Structure 1
Amino acid sequence: MKPNRILLFAGGNLGQWATRYIRQEDWLVGVDRGALFLIQHGLSPRLSIGDFDSVSVEERAKIEQHSGNVSACDPVMKDLTDTEMALTWALEQQPAEIVLLGALGSRFDHTLANVHLLQKALLARIDCKIVDETNEIHLIDRELTVERDHFAHVSLLPFSPEVTGITLCGFQYPLQDATLRIGDTIGISNVLTADSGTITVKTGLLLTIKSKD
């Protein structure tokens, strides 16, 4: 049976806020230290995956004891990051949605790499987003409906060199058939004026970032 939603808990910024995203039917995947986070909060990952180089021997034993399955790899002889391995596995399960938590953190290289992973899900036509306490990130090439919630701002940044046909409905600063190119900042810090808004594009890849201060 295919899961409706898979939550990947990576080893970046995590806190009590992250557990509030969990629904009863979700499949939980712990990515390296993210697996320890789940277990410390009384949750058993369906899968724990990674090289586990960020946990102690005792912590790894706890992960192995409380996980449904463990997929471990050598920390040196590997071609993918732990998060990419986890996302690849999640895509193979063909869920309706994937949510990445703990994918943003102090390592900007890992943060940027994880944002780039959104393209893998987009190509598979599986809804995927990155969420932390202050941000929610999507990558779109067609249309996205944005709901009003605790994230006050909505920003648009081109992910491909050029994004054309950008049209916004329900926003304070409207756009109609606009074009954004790499380096343009006109899409930063928009605000919803309705309970929901829509973002559509004709060509290119667009990052949409909901955020709060």
Structure 2
Amino acid sequence: MKGLIVSNGEISDLNILKSVIKDVDFIVCADGGTNHIAAINVMPDLVVGDLDSISSNTLEKIESNNINIERYNPKKDATDTELATEYLIEKGFKEIIFMGVTGSRIDHTLGNILILDKLLKRGIKGVIIDENNRVYITDSELCVSREEGTFVSIIPITSNGAKVTLTGFEYETDRVEFGFSSTLGISNRVVEENGYIKVENGTCLVIISKD
């Protein structure tokens, strides 16, 4: 099953949200993420959080449509996005898409990106989507298609870095050490039909971006 988590970060192009929704089985809104869903006249399956950022009009719509709400005390040990993630994990979802998890709050953005590592360790596919980026994570192999106007960056998040092999890219590598905090893997391009990424001895974010 494929789940979608919509959070309270930036979603500047609601058409992307509309497109993603067509391909998911279950929608969880993390608090103010419900405002994004309401803006396209879609009802989620569940709302979780302390409800400190959901608008009063949106909350009224949710309640009038009898949407399930899991309300939490504002003094809690996890963000609303992480609470939504834990719900889908417990329900056995094998793929989770995140939207509205990036934006001006870099602390929330970074925390949300690192949730992908939790999913990886549990064998769950995760991806973050916004208007300019798709963020994946891998500790093994990943194939990405060539897209005009995009860059592919491979960024180790483990302290020992990672050995990375890239084929089908403008800059190919053969078990090259990508050190933690190094910018070596930033802004590559897929030049063949597909680019193949193999990661050994570490974990890497794979970010497909456009300007």
- What is the TM-score of this pair, normalised by structure 2? 0.93
Aligned to 2:4: 7
Q: Tell me whether 1:66 sits opposite 2:65 in the alignment.
A: yes
- d(CA) in 2 for partners of 1:28 and 1:142? 28
4+ residue segments displaced more than 6 Å: none
In 2, the alpha carbon distance for the partners of 1:128 and 1:104 equals 15
Cα separation, 2, equivalents of 1:67 and 1:194: 50
After superposition, the CA RMSD in angstroms is 1.6
Task: Give 1:92 deviation, angstroms.
Answer: 1.4
In structure 1, the residue matched to 2:21 is 22
Paired residues in the alignment total 209
- Aligned letter for 2:114? H
Residue aligned with 2:202, SS: coil
State whether residues 160 and 179 of structure 2, in contact with CA within 8 Å, keep that contact through their aligned partners in structure 1.
Answer: yes
Match of residue 184 from structure 1: 182
What is the CA–CA distance in structure 2 between the aligned matches of 1:67 and 1:163, rounded to whole Å?
48
Identity %: 35
TM-aligned CA distance change 1:150 to 1:129, over 3 Å: farther
Structure 1, gaps ≥5 residues long: none
Normalising by structure 1, report the TM-score: 0.92
Alignment-derived partner of residue 200 in structure 1? 198
2:155 is aligned with 1:154: no
Q: Provide the C-alpha distance between the structure 2 equivalents of 1:211 and 1:45, rounded to a whole number of angstroms.
A: 28
Partner of residue 124, structure 2: 126
Cα displacement (A) at 1:11: 0.6
Q: Which whole-Å CA distance do the structure 2 matches of 1:66 and 1:11 have between them? A: 21
C-alpha separation between the residues in 1 aligned to 2:24 and 2:205? 28
C-alpha contact (below 8 Å) 1:130/1:137 kept by paired residues = yes
Q: Does the Cα contact within 8 Å between 1:135 and 1:151 map onto a contact in 2?
A: no
Equivalent residue for 1:48?
47
Residues 34, 58 of structure 2: 8 Å contact kept: no
Structure 1, residues 181-209: CA drift from partner, whole Å, max 9, x if none?
A: 12211101000012211111111111111
